[in-house]
Structure 1
Amino acid sequence: MCALQLGILTELEKSAEGIANNLDSLLRSLTSTLNQMSSLTLDCTTVFSDSVDYACETIGACIKSTYVLMAKCEELSKSMSQLEPLKKEM
């Protein structure tokens, strides 16, 4: 009975070692995958932030250009109002 128990203990020890090795391999793989995911998340966040910054700058420039255009249209409207008497004469 003792020899049988020793065989079982040896087999159990080998199984435990195999499980430990598999678990170690799994944890290393998981660590690597999580690091890659973190890196990709950081890259995506950086791209998103840069895109938002660029969009804000572009929108700001468009708003400024719109105000400049509105001012020029106002000037043109004032200049054209001076032609109103000429229009009535014609």
Structure 2
Amino acid sequence: MQSLETTAVSLSEGEQLSMAVIDLVSRLEDADPTALEPLYDAIDPDLLDSLPDAAGFESLVFDYHGYSIRATADDEGVRVALEDSAAPERGR
């Protein structure tokens, strides 16, 4: 995997993990969130939203919109990191 860009954010209190992923990708792509392919094509959003409260959750990695996305539990909640894994395919 070629890492061209890595961006990370921490999930705010009460924020849904699925929306944090969509918002972060849409900001990086400078695109309206509704212009992105549906997140459910990559992962079940309900499952994703349940992870911060799941006992024993440590991390999850999945691909979405050309990014490798890692959600990791830490002392302050959940951290979401995106690594640009397909930039050449998108013409960057």
Which TM-score bucket, shorter chain as reference?
under 0.3
Q: TM-score, normalised by structure 1?
A: 0.17
Larger radius of gyration: 1
Q: TM-score, normalised by structure 2?
A: 0.17
By percentage of residues, which structure has more strand?
2
